[in-house]
Amino acid sequence: MEFFVTHQAVDHYSGDCSVAFVLKGKSNENRIIQNYLDLHRFEPKLASTLMLGKVEGYKSKRVLVVGLGESPLSQKNYIKALKSLSSAMSVSKVKNVVIPSIEVEDADEAWLQITTARVLKNESYKVKKVGVKEEISDIVLEAVNIYSQNNGASEIQKGVAIANGMALTRELGDLPPNICTPTYIAETAKSLAETYNLECEILEESDMESLGMNSLLSVSKGSIEPGKLISLSYSNAGNEAPIVLVGKGVTFDSGGISLKPGQGMDEMKYDMCGAASVLGAMSAIAEMNLKVNLTVVVPTVENMPAHNASKPGDVVKSMSGQTIEILNTDAEGRLILCDALTYCEKFKPKAVIDIATLTGAVIIALGKHHSGVMSNDQKLADALKSSGLSSLDTVWQLPLDEEYDDLLKSNFADMANIGGREAGTVTAACFLARYAKNYSWAHIDIAGTAWLGGSKKGATGRPVPLLTQYIMDQV
């Protein structure tokens, strides 16, 4: 699917299909279109669609009417309309289309172009079955033309880049864990480095042992799959301090000795979606060629039970020198992230943002709508909240108070790796905050937003839109 800017009026488009947006309770300015709506008794409820054949006054073969509901049109409702538009085009096997501009509340033309391209490209993503190659004939929609009064090509390409980053994130997340191992993620990082001329470094377990990353290694040692610590750097802003994204990469989380229940354990292949999202964000930023310095760090392991696996009650020393009593081996994400956060100090970062499917508690608190954010820097938290609103990939801030930190006390080490049942999302962030005292830091818990279950089971690609928007906002 390719995207183009057009300055030609929509009714002059001579391709396969033209889109006509219609608001509820507002008579369409095009009387011919309105006559068709009256004839079909079409009520333009939000996300409703009506495919018409040849329409007088339009040069295209077909016209797709898309209902927008009540005025004013919100950003959320515009995205809902785009998704229904995409579905209708897929059903009708539209090959090429022109999409008009529309007034969206609190949105400028740049937002409209980025969002339209991003949503339509992402909606075209198909979950891939293992071993089944997609045929070219399966791809129907070939060209999307977006009307613009200005030259919006660069904004449209940003939207495409974000969608491509989301696709990479979704592909990695959906892969079975016997394929998407720590080594596979490392190979994916190498491939990105080759594509975009990035600096790539991969630490093996022996390298991490030399650095004292005993917390991370305590998780990987129960698996036959060796752990890795991956760093990718994109440099396009001189000597500016880099933004660093850290992504949790547990390619399968059995819980270790603190074994998870069997029901739903297959979804623990998604415990590497933090890693997938930072690689997706790196892909998007590099494709945009933004003037920024960006580094991603991915600690990646498999958490398995074994005769040599970590046990509840074990004490390990992290790279920072702080000791940890492992009360629960299923709280392993923070054990790999803490060493990665210490490692980030070498980059002298402008800010560090870690992204992790860290706690089930965040799903109880926020459901599947918002990711949770906690930070030691309110300006950084505010920037992420603002970028989340702009990209409609939202975060909700949770507290990070010392009263919660007290719940991590241990009689046998500097801290325990869990703080009990209450405020589980917050105490997990408090644990990480102990390793992020030397820089501006935020933690994003995506356990509720990284994937969906049920009939729509699959990775969502979040929070790639949030991360890329945040980085774009810094340029």
Q: Is 38 marked as binding a ligand?
A: no
How many beta carbons lie within 10 A of that of residue 337, not counting itself?
30
Catalytic residue among 118, 121, 269, 334: 334
CB 170 within 8 A of CB 32: no
Question: What are 304's two structure tokens?
Answer: 């398995």
Q: Note the pLDDT of residue 25.
A: 77
Q: Is 108 marked as binding a ligand?
A: no
Q: What is the pLDDT of residues 115-137, one digit of tens each?
A: 999 999 999 998 888 877 766 55
Gap between the Cα atoms of 156 and 153, Å rounded: 5
Q: Note the pLDDT of residue 128.
A: 81
Q: What is the pLDDT of residues 380-396, one digit of tens each?
A: 999 999 999 999 999 99
Name the 3-class secondary structure at 343: helix
Gap between the Cα atoms of 419 and 358, Å rounded: 14
> What band does 225 get if pLDDT is binned at 50, 70 and 90?
very high
Residue 167: is it exposed, middle or buried by C-beta count within 10 angstroms (0-12/13-18/19+)? buried
As a whole-number percent, the residues of the chain with pLDDT over 90 amount to 92
In the residue annotation, 334 being an active-site residue is answered as: yes
Q: Is 332 marked as binding a ligand?
A: yes
> What band does 59 get if pLDDT is binned at 50, 70 and 90?
very high
In the residue annotation, 260 being an active-site residue is answered as: yes
Q: Note the pLDDT of residue 131.
A: 76
CB 394 within 8 A of CB 444: no
Q: Is 171 marked as binding a ligand?
A: no
Minimum mean pLDDT range among 124-138, 151-165, 235-249, 312-326? 124-138
C-alpha of 39 from chain center:
43
The dihedral region occupied by 469, where left means phi > 0, alpha psi between -120 and 50, and beta the remainder, is alpha
Q: What is the pLDDT of residues 187-205, one digit of tens each?
A: 999 999 999 999 999 999 9
Q: Is 59 marked as binding a ligand?
A: no
CATH entry 3.40.220.10 includes domain 2-153: yes
Q: What is the mean pLDDT of residues 54-70?
A: 96
Angle of the 464-474 helix axis to the 153-174 helix axis, nearest 10: 140
> What band does 343 get if pLDDT is binned at 50, 70 and 90?
very high
What are the domain boundaries of the chain?
Answer: 2-153, 159-473
Residue 40 has pLDDT above 70, yes or no: yes
Catalytic residue among 83, 260, 317, 368: 260
Question: What are 41's two structure tokens?
Answer: 């008794």
pTM over cut 0.85: yes
Residue 28 has pLDDT above 80, yes or no: no
**Phi/psi of residue 93, each to 5°?**
55, 50
> What band does 139 get if pLDDT is binned at 50, 70 and 90?
low
Gap between the Cα atoms of 275 and 173, Å rounded: 9
CATH superfamily of 159-473: Zn peptidases (3.40.630.10)
